[in-house]
Amino acid sequence: MLKIDLSLFISKDMEYNFREIEQKWQKSWVDNKIYQISEDNSKPKYYVLNMFPYPSGAGLHVGHPLGYIASDIYARFKRLQGFNVLNPMGYDAYGLPAEQYAIQTGQHPEVTTFANIDRYREQLDKIGFSFDWNREVRTCSPGYYKWTQWAFQKMFNSFFCNKEQKALPIEVLIKHFETEGNLGLDVAQSEPLTFTAEEWNSWDDKKKSDVLMNYRIAFLGETMVNWCPKLGTVLANDEVIDGVSERGGYPVEQKKMRQWCLRVSAYSQRLLDGLDTIQWSDSIKETQRNWIGRSEGTEVEFRIDGTNDYFTIFTTRADTMFGVTFMVLAPESDLVQKVTTVEQKAEVEKYIKYVKGRTERERMIDRKVTGVFSGSYAINPFTGEKNPIWISEYVLAGYGTGAIMAVPAHDSRDYAFAKHFNLPIIPLIEGADVSEESYDAKEGIVSNSPAPGKSAVEYDGESLMLNGLTIKEAIAATKTFVKKHNIGRVKVNYRLRDAIFSRQRYWGEPFPVYYKNGIPCMIPEECLPIQLPQVEKFLPTETGEPPLGNATVWAWDEANKKIVANSLIDNKTIFPIELYTMPGFAGSSAYYLRYMDPHNDKALLSTEAANYWQNVDLYVGGSEHATGHLIYSRFWNKFLYDLGISVKEEPFQKLINQGMIQGRSNFVYRIKDTNTFVSFDKKDEYDTTPIHVDVNIVSADVLDVEAFKAWRPEYKNAEFILNDEGKYICGWAVEKMSKSMFNVVNPDMIVERFGADTLRLYEMFLGPVEQSKPWDTNGIDGCHRFLKKLWNFFIKDDSVVATDGDATPEERKALHTLIKKVTGDIDQFSYNTSIAAFMVCVNELTKLKSTSREVKEALAVLIAPFCPHIAEELYHLLGHDGTVCDAKWPAFNESYLKEDNMKMMVAFNGKARFPMEFPVGTDNATIEKAALENEQSAKWLEGFTVAKVIVVPGKMINIVLKK
RNA sequence: GCGCCUGUGGCGGAAUUGGUAGACGCGUUAGACUUAGGAUCUAAUGUCUCGCGGCGUGCAGGUUCGAGUCCUGUCAGGCGCACCA
């Protein structure tokens, strides 16, 4: 049977034709450059930013634009309030999927990436954003990554001064070395070194270069890295989840490698302190605090028995010095060699081999107690006793000093170890029972320190005595003692690690570095950017070098300052260039600065642009970046701030984390071994298998049976057992939105069916922006209906009806209630309640049969942030020429809400009973009297007396009764 | 284990500073208009009860004239960190 869409034949001229309206205005906005903005000192600035997307091959689903819509509404709102709003968009274009695709197909990642970007742009354009596309950035374009390379070089040429808590030029440090060695320096470093000026001056360039690496903010370091053999590259800590790679889920192992690193740890304290100055959610701040992991403690020196060698341990429980019964070293610790005795050598080596063979994942899942005795002992500086030194994987090389003093009575891990290897346990806290488990709590009175009948070691006639003190006092006393007698020092430790900054991949920013006989040198700034070379194959070379090893033109001609063929390398004037590339976070760490001045080829951004735009006022993005991008960006910005490039210490003033949109999958139920499908409500009568069905052929959980038959060839002859109403009902579940679940809903499809304004409205109406929620197309009709009602409110008989003159008090009340609500709600990102208020208001005005121009003018502007297309159309139908984007946000007038009478609820003992009305301004005494008179007339109150009357003006009168 | 967040109808979710819990939307039910309805409009819709009136914000207490909101405990779910000394 031929289906005819009747709407094509029935001409209803002024129906809400969203397709026409949206196309028309989207084109007009582009033609008239409505969203192109520039610095304007006559207006206050406001900078709204979304985390820019990685353009994946799958395109956008309805979840992606959620944050963009939320921030677009805010940007438009701010603009209507008179701000000069920067609302840019770009692409985080480097990423693994494009490279993996390149390896499989030989297609250059740039081709794939650009195609994906085009698709993203096409989809984004349909939603009606106010992005200034003139400022678009792509991390993979040379004009952009020039400044990524430039920043890296600045970091290479800087060190971090702990005293001033800022980055300084490396020349300052070199001058200090030349005159005083590293005496009296307090700077961030990889490991403590001691040398004199004479030593420094006597060293050759290679040695100097090596020593400087200990201090540079971007440095080459031998570090334990997360190596993913399957991906052929190293990964950052936040790219490893449960011991497998975040992308692909491949196993990851620990490996020592030479890598470029960024000394993020130097900024630990500033990263921590900065959190107090920004408006981010508590949970994300807390996550960052955890990640930075500040802990105050004490470092204490222990002498290795029989030698003059000391080693250092870090503890937060300095009060437990008298409960130490053994020491433990991390298996990777350099000290292991030093303390292993000849007798224990074989045992220790066996153990180290065992630990190396265990992957991170195995260690995490199987947490058994293992360890080996080294053969040596350490002298406890307080008791003078010898404690055996053990080696165990439960001590981490990367934290503290990689060595601990074990107090089994008061640390559960030490306790488990002591029990397993039969080591002594000495309780120190009064009343602590350690026969079954350790007493880890940090409260109680210290005893046994020193033990009765024993005495502590004397230093200058003084010895430590902690008995009777609280744990807090004991820690403080020990710290003071340690400092005074030079047994150790008070120390703040951070868990935050330096970031590993190189990847063994092709599709990333190349390092502007060449190697002059083993010494890394920077390619001169004026030669930047050095562009990613062409390669034939995107895989590592046969000799195991990174993919850039395949490049044939990848050598630096120092004299002529240009890139030349590898074959010319002579290590005299022509040198090899770095084969590593930068990680994903390199390009995404400072992109917000580049948006301020995206076409500048003289500087990352001009001083004028930096001073005008300052930093991002509102940043919108997912909370999954809490320990990655949001830390790196803050670090990067602080570094640029030290250089005077960035004018604000924190890059993102306010952060909103939008929730994820989950998919809502639909299921059909196939009766086993048949091609018959049974409706959800009857499935329990059969033995069935649920099968995912494309949500796009299901409407309100009712399956379009014909579309299902056409969906896949195997269902062509499917049969159905329908329910009593003759419908096929599908089951449903909330799952991740993904292709394999057939629950992906594209924004394009929604825009096609309902329009962009409806999509924008509905995405915001779904619930709070910050909350994760499943997508459910079923509810969208309500929003679409609202826009139709809005349209019909404006338009009667083919034209807009707008009568001049004052609006009635009722109209003004409805309108100004809305203005107040929406203005307040947008500011708090409470968009769903704003939209509800719109619905109420339009219903109210429709009931009032309002035709007032005053009301319609205001309404068109108020809806503009949410639904810019319909707003623009209505604005023009009202006779305006400009764009609604630059209209003035309606002013709220309190006096329109005032009423003659105030309605008050009379309550007894807090329970509401009946309402009463009083003229505005009635004093409390009168209200009280009137309410009491009412009370006396109520029969059921006999036997009670009035104890008290509470009047909440304008709200309620509460009469408190007693029997 | 530690830290953070969240628990409200059939569903998504409202509820200013403690002041008539359930706005708004979906869904459902009834009616109207229709050849028709997966269109539109009107009304009802927390729950028990014929009604009066009870009971209701995960659970148990507490503070208060009055608690979804504040406090204590507890349970459930989510997120983050995790052998961090």
A659 touches strand B (CB under 7 A): no
pLDDT digits (tens, 9 = 90+) for A890-907: 999 989 988 777 888 888
Strand partners, A623: none
pLDDT digits (tens, 9 = 90+) for A237-246: 777 777 777 7
Would you call the peptide bond into A529 cis, given omega within 30 degrees of 0 as the criterion?
yes
| pLDDT at residue A9 greater than cutoff 50 | no
CA-to-C1' span, A909 to B71 (A): 22
Task: Give residue numbers, 380 to 409 of A, with CB < 7 Å from strand B.
Answer: 393-396, 398-400, 402, 404, 407
d(CA A182, CA A504): 34
Task: Give residue numbers, 591 to 650 of A, with CB < 7 Å from strand B.
Answer: 623-624, 626-627
Mean pLDDT is lowest, of A138-142, A410-414, A662-666, for: A662-666
Q: Which nucleotide is nearest to A792 (CA to C1')?
A: B40
CB A425 within 8 A of CB A433: no
Task: Quickly state the pLDDT bin for A162 (edges 50, 70, 90).
Answer: very high
**More confidently predicted of A426 and A960:** A426
* Residue A939 pLDDT: 58
Report the SS3 class of residue A143: helix
pLDDT digits (tens, 9 = 90+) for A904-957: 888 888 777 778 888 887 887 888 788 777 766 555 666 677 788 888 877 888
Nucleotides of chain B touched by protein CB (<7 A): 3-5, 12-15, 19-21, 23-28, 36, 38-41, 65-67, 78-85
A525 touches strand B (CB under 7 A): no
Region A321-347: mean pLDDT is 93
pLDDT digits (tens, 9 = 90+) for A554-568: 999 999 999 999 999
Cα Rg for chain A, rounded, in angstroms? 35
d(CA A533, CA A552): 8
Q: How many angstroms separate the Cα of A353 from the Cα of each of A83, A142, A253, A255, A371? A: 64, 46, 14, 13, 12
* Residue type at A421 in one-letter notation: F
**More confidently predicted of A850 and A441:** A850
Q: Which nucleotide is nearest to A237 (CA to C1')?
A: B81
* Residue A942 pLDDT: 65
On the 0-12 / 13-18 / 19+ scale of CB atoms within 10 A, A203 is: middle
Q: How many angstroms separate the Cα of A751 from the Cα of each of A5, A23, A703, A745? A: 19, 11, 22, 11
Task: Quickly state the pLDDT bin for A799 (edges 50, 70, 90).
Answer: confident
Region A281-289: mean pLDDT is 85
Name the residue among A504, A508, A497, A525 with its Cα closest to residue A157. A525
d(CA A362, CA A556): 44
On the 0-12 / 13-18 / 19+ scale of CB atoms within 10 A, A769 is: buried
Q: Which nucleotide is nearest to A314 (CA to C1')?
A: B85
Task: Return the percentage of chain A with pLDDT > 70, whole number.
Answer: 97
Report the SS3 class of residue A35: coil
Task: Give residue numbers, 286 to 315 of A, with CB < 7 Å from strand B.
Answer: 286-287, 290-291, 293, 295, 297, 314-315
* Residue A131 pLDDT: 98
CA-to-C1' span, A632 to B60 (A): 46
A790 touches strand B (CB under 7 A): no
| pLDDT at residue A669 greater than cutoff 90 | no
**More confidently predicted of A310 and A739:** A310
d(CA A382, CA A376): 19
Task: Give residue numbers, 491 to 520 of A, with CB < 7 Å from strand B.
Answer: 493, 495
ipTM, 2 dp = 0.94
In A179-243, which ranges are E strands?
218-228, 233-235, 240-241
CB A566 within 8 A of CB A551: yes
d(CA A846, CA A266): 63
CB A667 within 8 A of CB A690: yes
Region A561-578: mean pLDDT is 96
* Residue A940 pLDDT: 60
d(CA A479, CA A473): 10
**More confidently predicted of A487 and A1:** A487
Tokens of A615: 């930093």
A334 touches strand B (CB under 7 A): no
Task: Quickly state the pLDDT bin for A14 (edges 50, 70, 90).
Answer: low
CA-to-C1' span, A913 to B47 (A): 20
CA-to-C1' span, A469 to B1 (A): 27
| pLDDT at residue A805 greater than cutoff 70 | yes
Strand partners, A138: A91
Region A169-175: mean pLDDT is 97
DSSP state of A531: P
Among all protein residues, pick the one whose CA is nearest to the C1' atom of B40.
A785
A903 touches strand B (CB under 7 A): yes
